[in-house]
C-alpha cells in the first residue's frame, strides 16, 4: 500500500502532465486503491481555477488514459487541485506553501510530499531556490524532488545545477528521472543478466564480440525544432537514455538490489570508460528530405525554427571502450537518430563465432554470430539468434530465433512513468540517476559538445550517414 501523500506537479498544464503524468498517477492510485489518502496539486503560471484545471485534466484522461467521462470526472473532483504561480515571485511560493498545508489538513495527510518539476530546464534553478526559501524542501513527513531531464547542458551547467539542488535538498531526497529506466525490459536487464546462470558466465570479453545500443525514431523534429536545435542528438538521447542502458549492460554484479548498490556499479562503468576520440569513434549526421514509412519528411534545415546553417546533429553514432577486466577490447556502439526507417530501442549483444569453421552457412562464407536482442520498444521482449542444421542438406546451417514477448505472456505492460512515480512515493531510488552518474556522463561527452565532428547528411528514411559504416558495419541488422 502506498503511503499517504501529496503529489505536487510544476508545469501541470504542459504536454507531459496531460499525456503521461496524469494517466500514470491515475493508474498508480487505482492499482493501490488508496483513494482517500492522497491529493494531487497542479502548479503552473496559467490563471485557472480548480474547476477549470479539473476540466482540462478530465479531457486528458479520457483521451490519453481511455477513461469514461464519468470515471475521469469523479477522479478529478476527488483528487485534483490547482495553484497559479504567476511570475514565480517569492510571495507566490509562500501562497503555494500555505495551499499545501491547507490541502494536507483537508485530506488528513501526514506531510509526505512528492514535488515533480515538469518544467523547461531554465526554470529549474529559480524554482528550486524558491521552494527552499518558502520551506517546501522539508516537511513533517518526507519530501522528494523529482527533476526531469536534461540535468544541465554540459559538465559545468550540471555542476552548477547540482549545487543549487543541494543547497536545499539532500541527495536522498532527489530523484533525477529518466523514463527509459522505468521500462520493463530495461529493468529486466538486471534479472536477465544476474538471474540466469546461462548468460552471466558469457557476459565478458572472452565471449562477447561487441555490444550495440540503438534508439531510433521514425519522426523528424516536427514542432520541437526550436528546442532541438539547442540540444541535438548527443544531449537529447546519448547522454541520458543510451548511457543508462550502457551502464546497465556493462556493470558488475551489485552486492544487493538496494538502490545505492546498483547505482554505484553503474558509476564505476562510467569511471572506467575511456575518453572518446572524436575523429575515430564518433560520427554525427543531419537528415535531409526523404520518406519514412510512406510519409514525406522535409529536411532538418527546412524545419521551422532551424537556422539554414545549423550544425546540430540529428544522428549520432559513437564507440565506447570500458577499460576494465571484464570488457577490455569490446566496443560498445551507441547509435541514435531522427527520421530513421522505424522506431526502435534495442540492445544487441553479439557473441564471438566458433574459433574453427566446421559447417557451411547459407551464404557459404561464415557462420553467423549468436546475437542476443533485448528490445525495449516498441515491442518489449528478448530474442536469441542461433544456428540450426537445414534438413537433408548435409551440414548446411541457417540462422533462426528463440523469442520471448512481454505482452504475449503478461498482457498489459505498465507504463514507465507509472512505475517511476510509484517508486518516488515508495522512496525507492534504484531507477533514478545518482548525481555522480550525471557528472561522469557529462565529463565523458562534454569534449564532444565543445569540439565534435561536423554532421554528415543522410536522407530521411535511411539508417544514417554512410560515414558511420566504419562504426556499425558489423552490427546486427535492424530487423
Residue 88 has pLDDT above 70, yes or no: no
> Would you state the pLDDT for residue 400?
82
Number of H helices, E strands in the chain: 17, 18
Residue 32 has pLDDT above 70, yes or no: no
Residue 473 has pLDDT above 80, yes or no: no
> Would you state the pLDDT for residue 9?
97
> Would you state the pLDDT for residue 358?
61
- The pLDDT tens digits of the residues spanning 139-164 come to 999 999 999 888 999 999 999 999 99
What is the dihedral angle through the alpha carbons of 26, 28, 34, 37, rounded to the nearest 10 degrees?
A: -80
- The pLDDT tens digits of the residues spanning 338-385 come to 999 999 999 999 999 877 666 555 555 567 788 999 998 888 889 998
Beta-carbon contacts of 229 under 8 Å, excluding residues fewer than 6 positions away, are 221, 305, 306, 307, 310, 312
Is the Cβ–Cβ distance between 16 and 114 less than 8 Å? no
Cell numbers for 140, please give them: 513533517
| 412: annotated active-site residue | no
Better pLDDT: 110 or 188: 110
Residue 43 has pLDDT above 60, yes or no: yes
Task: For residues 192-221, give the mean pLDDT.
Answer: 92
Task: Tell me the CA distances in angstroms from 124 to 139, 187, 234, 323, 350, one per residue in order.
Answer: 21, 28, 21, 35, 41
Task: For residues 225-241, give the mean pLDDT.
Answer: 90
Between the two ends of the chain, the Cα-to-Cα distance in Å is 42
Report the percentage of the chain scoring pLDDT > 70: 94
> Would you state the pLDDT for residue 159?
96
Is the Cβ–Cβ distance between 435 and 161 less than 8 Å? no
Residue 101 has pLDDT above 80, yes or no: yes
Cell numbers for 430, please give them: 534504484
Q: Give the closest residue to 131 by CA, choosing from 185, 93, 181.
A: 93
pTM above 0.95, yes or no: no
Per annotation, catalytic residue among 179, 241, 321, 373:
241
Task: Tell me the CA distances in angstroms from 176 to 149, 180, 237, 264, 265, one per residue in order.
Answer: 7, 12, 15, 15, 17
Query: How many CA atoms lie less than 13 Å away from 391 in the CB half-sphere?
Result: 0
Other residues' Cβ atoms within 10 Å of the Cβ of residue 461: 20
Residue 296 has pLDDT above 60, yes or no: yes
- The pLDDT tens digits of the residues spanning 298-310 come to 999 999 889 999 9
Residue 319 has pLDDT above 70, yes or no: yes
> Would you state the pLDDT for residue 36?
56
List the single range of 21-35, 164-178, 320-334, 356-370 with lowest mean pLDDT: 356-370
Residue 57 has pLDDT above 80, yes or no: yes
The mean pLDDT of the chain is 89
Is the Cβ–Cβ distance between 202 and 192 less than 8 Å? no
Other residues' Cβ atoms within 10 Å of the Cβ of residue 2: 17
Residue count (the chain): 479
> Would you state the pLDDT for residue 476?
63
Task: For residues 315-343, give the mean pLDDT.
Answer: 95
Better pLDDT: 19 or 1: 19
Beta-carbon contacts of 356 under 8 Å, excluding residues fewer than 6 positions away, are none
Task: For residues 456-475, give the mean pLDDT.
Answer: 89
Task: For residues 267-287, give the mean pLDDT.
Answer: 95
**Residue 378: is the preceding peptide bond cis (ω within 30°)?**
yes
Task: Band the pLDDT of 28: cuts 50, 70, 90.
Answer: confident
How far is the C-alpha of 431 from the C-alpha of 422, rounded, in Å? 11
List the single range of 29-33, 416-420, 458-462 with lowest mean pLDDT: 29-33
> Would you state the pLDDT for residue 474?
64
> Would you state the pLDDT for residue 221?
87
Q: Give the closest residue to 182 by CA, choosing from 232, 211, 146, 220.
A: 146
> Would you state the pLDDT for residue 227?
82
- The pLDDT tens digits of the residues spanning 382-428 come to 999 887 887 876 677 778 888 888 888 887 777 889 989 999 999 99
Task: For residues 187-207, give the mean pLDDT.
Answer: 89
Amino acid at each position: 500500500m502506498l503511503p499517504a501523500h501529496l503529489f505536487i506537479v510544476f508545469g501541470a498544464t504542459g504536454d507531459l502532465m496531460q499525456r503521461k503524468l496524469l494517466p500514470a498517477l491515475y493508474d498508480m492510485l487505482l492499482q493501490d486503491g488508496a483513494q482517500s489518502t492522497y491529493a494531487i496539486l497542479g502548479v503552473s503560471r496559467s490563471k485557472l481555477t480548480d474547476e477549470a484545471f479539473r476540466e482540462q485534466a478530465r479531457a486528458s484522461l479520457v483521451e490519453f488514459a481511455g477513461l469514461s467521462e464519468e470515471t475521469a470526472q469523479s477522479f478529478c473532483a476527488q483528487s485534483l487541485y490547482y495553484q497559479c504561480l504567476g511570475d514565480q515571485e517569492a510571495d507566490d511560493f509562500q501562497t503555494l506553501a500555505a495551499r499545501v498545508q491547507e490541502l494536507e489538513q483537508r485530506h488528513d495527510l501526514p506531510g509526505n510530499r512528492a514535488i515533480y518539476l515538469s518544467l523547461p530546464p531554465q526554470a529549474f534553478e529559480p524554482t528550486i531556490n524558491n521552494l527552499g526559501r518558502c520551506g517546501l524542501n522539508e516537511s513533517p513527513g518526507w519530501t522528494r524532488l523529482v527533476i526531469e531531464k536534461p540535468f544541465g547542458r554540459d559538465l559545468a551547467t550540471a555542476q552548477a545545477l547540482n549545487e543549487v539542488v543541494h543547497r536545499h535538498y539532500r541527495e536522498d531526497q532527489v530523484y533525477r528521472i529518466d523514463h527509459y529506466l522505468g521500462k520493463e525490459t530495461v529493468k529486466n536487464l538486471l534479472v536477465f543478466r544476474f538471474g540466469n546462470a546461462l548468460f552471466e558466465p558469457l557476459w565478458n570479453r572472452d565471449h562477447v564480440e561487441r555490444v550495440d545500443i540503438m534508439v531510433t525514431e521514425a519522426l523528424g523534429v516536427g514542432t520541437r525544432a526550436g528546442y532541438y536545435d539547442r540540444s541535438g542528438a548527443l544531449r537529447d538521447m546519448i547522454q541520458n537514455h543510451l548511457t543508462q542502458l550502457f551502464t546497465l549492460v556493462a556493470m558488475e554484479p551489485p552486492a544487493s538490489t538496494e538502490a545505492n548498490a546498483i547505482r554505484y556499479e553503474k558509476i564505476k562503468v562510467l569511471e572506467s570508460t575511456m575518453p572518446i576520440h572524436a575523429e575515430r569513434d564518433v560520427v554525427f549526421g543531419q537528415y535531409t528530405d526523404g520518406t519514412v514509412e510512406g510519409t514525406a519528411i522535409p529536411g532538418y534545415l527546412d524545419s521551422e525554427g532551424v537556422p539554414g546553417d545549423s550544425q546540430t546533429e540529428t544522428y549520432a553514432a559513437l564507440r565506447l571502450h570500458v577499460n576494465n577486466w571484464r570488457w577490455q577490447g569490446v566496443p560498445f556502439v551507441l547509435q541514435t537518430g531522427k527520421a530513421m526507417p522505424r522506431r526502435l530501442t534495442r540492445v544487441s549483444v553479439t557473441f564471438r563465432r566458433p574459433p574453427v569453421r566446421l559447417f557451411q552457412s547459407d551464404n557459404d562464407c561464415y557462420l553467423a554470430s549468436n546475437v542476443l536482442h533485448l528490445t525495449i520498444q516498441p515491442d518489449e521482449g528478448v530474442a536469441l539468434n542461433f544456428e540450426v542444421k537445414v534438413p537433408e542438406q548435409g551440414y548446411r546451417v541457417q540462422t533462426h530465433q528463440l523469442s520471448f514477448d512481454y505482452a504475449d505472456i503478461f498482457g498489459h505492460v505498465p507504463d514507465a512513468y507509472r512505475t517511476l512515480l510509484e517508486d518516488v512515493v515508495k522512496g525507492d531510488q534504484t531507477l533514478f540517476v545518482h548525481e555522480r552518474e550525471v557528472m561522469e556522463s557529462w565529463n565523458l561527452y562534454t569534449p564532444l559538445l565543445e569540439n565534435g565532428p561536423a554532421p554528415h547528411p543522410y536522407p530521411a528514411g535511411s539508417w544514417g550517414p554512410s560515414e558511420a559504416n566504419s562504426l556499425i558495419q558489423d552490427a546486427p541488422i535492424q530487423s
